Amino acid sequence: MVTQISRRRRVAALLALATALTVAAPVVEARPGGGGSMGSRGSRTYTAPSATPTAPGGGMTMQRSQTAPSPGMGSPGMQAPAQGRRFGGGFFAGLLGAGLIGALLGGGFFGGLASMIGLLFQVGLVVFVVMLALRFFRRRNEPAGAGAPYARSSLDGQQGPAGPMGGPGAGMFGGQRPPQTRPVQIGPNDYQAFERLLGDIQEAYSREDRVTLGNLSTPEMVSYFDEELRNNASRGVVNRISDVKLLQGDLAEAWAEDRTEYATVAMRYALKDVMVERASGRIVQTDASEATELWTFQRQPGRGWVLSAIQQTR
């Protein structure tokens, strides 16, 4: 009898922890980039983009990048993403909750903690499995259906080197010489190109058209997109995006380093974003109908703009 009660307490404690972790788990959206911040922005890769009317809180620092940080550039971990804070809080709340459950079951608070100590390896296994699941499902995509309508945005007609909060803004780089930067003039044709790329990239991602994605994005961004598409395929789903429409947009920063020009643009856009089962076409997940992100584009002399980074807003 005592053994059965002890086992029940252990099961209850594990269920409490698993529930806490599930509640605290972040909701991963679809769309290219999976709701994360990834890519490269030259010397500003680990500097959060400036605030704009479209993104008044500015942008998050980069979470994934192939650009190695240098002294003064900032650190990839200098701003912990909110998801990590929520996960950590949920984990310790689960431990406390398990102790309280032990008290409710008659073992007393310290009895519940003693039981939890005996279950640490089991709990660690649960946490490990949950973390693997979160990493596995951290993907998203969707295309903009062919001919999807695109509204003319507030980007049109803006002139100047960097919009409301722009400018080169290169600071001191911790004793190293900062990269040579210069202002970049962004005009109506550039804004139209950014808006067109927003829709074309979503559409190509939805079609899983890697060739088109390679023409519209940097090799680094294509590698992230390909990873997401392969994960979707392994799960037997495909991300369908349609009706992408830019609602509002403005320039955060525009600058040049050596022969490469960069422009970071805040864009709020509407879309239809669903995850569909490949075999049956059944909708298994519906994601946000509106998103606000900061997209960074880059171009070389004589070539058009391509996507080099996507960052989430704060």
In this structure, what CATH number is given to the domain that contains residue 63?
3.10.450.240
Residues 6 or more apart whose Cβ sits within 8 Å of residue 21: 87, 90, 91, 94, 126, 127, 130
Pairing of strands 260-277, 237-257: antiparallel
Least confident of 20-34, 48-62, 159-173: 159-173
Single out the residue of 182, 160, 150, 151 nearest to residue 252, CA to CA.
Answer: 160
Q: What is the pTM for the complete model shown?
A: 0.63
Render the burial of 82-109: b for 16+ CB within 10 Å, e for the rest. Answer: ebeeebeebbebbbebbbebbeebebee
- Residue-by-residue DSSP string for 196-252: HHHHHHHHHHHHT-HHHHHHHB-HHHHHHHHHHHHHHHHHTEEEEEEEEEEEEEEEE
**Are 206 and 254 contained in the same domain?**
yes
If one counts the domains in the chain, the total is 2
Q: To which residue do tokens 């922890």 refer?
A: 17
**Is the separation of the CB atoms in 98 and 16 below 8 Å?**
yes
- Answer yes or no: is pLDDT of 44 > 80: yes
What is the structure's pLDDT at 69? Answer: 87
Residue 201 forms part of a structural domain = yes
What is the tens place of the pLDDT at every residue in 70-104?
Answer: 765 554 443 333 333 222 333 333 333 434 344 44
**Is the separation of the CB atoms in 276 and 166 below 8 Å?**
no
Residue 306 forms part of a structural domain = yes
Per the rule left: phi > 0, alpha: psi between -120 and 50, beta: everything else, 157 is left
**Are 189 and 65 contained in the same domain?**
yes
The larger pLDDT score, comparing residue 127 to residue 266, is at 266
What is the structure's pLDDT at 35? Answer: 79
- Range(s) of the domain holding residue 94: 2-25+84-135
**Are 56 and 161 contained in the same domain?**
yes
For residue 304, the number of C-alpha atoms closer than 13 Å in the C-beta half-sphere is 14
Least confident of 59-63, 145-149, 170-174, 207-211: 145-149
- DSSP 8-state symbol, 310: E
Q: How many other C-beta atoms can be found within 10 angstroms of the C-beta atom of residue 143?
A: 27
- DSSP 8-state symbol, 177: P
Residue 277 forms part of a structural domain = yes
Q: How confident is the model at residue 168 (pLDDT cuts 50, 70, 90)?
A: very low
Residue 127 forms part of a structural domain = yes
**Are 129 and 157 contained in the same domain?**
no
Residue 8 belongs to what H/E stretch? helix 2-24
List residues bridging with 275 in a β-sheet: 239, 285
Residue 8 forms part of a structural domain = yes
Residue 186 forms part of a structural domain = yes
- Answer yes or no: is pLDDT of 16 > 80: no
Domain end, chosen from 94, 109, 135, is at 135
Residue 173 belongs to what H/E stretch? none
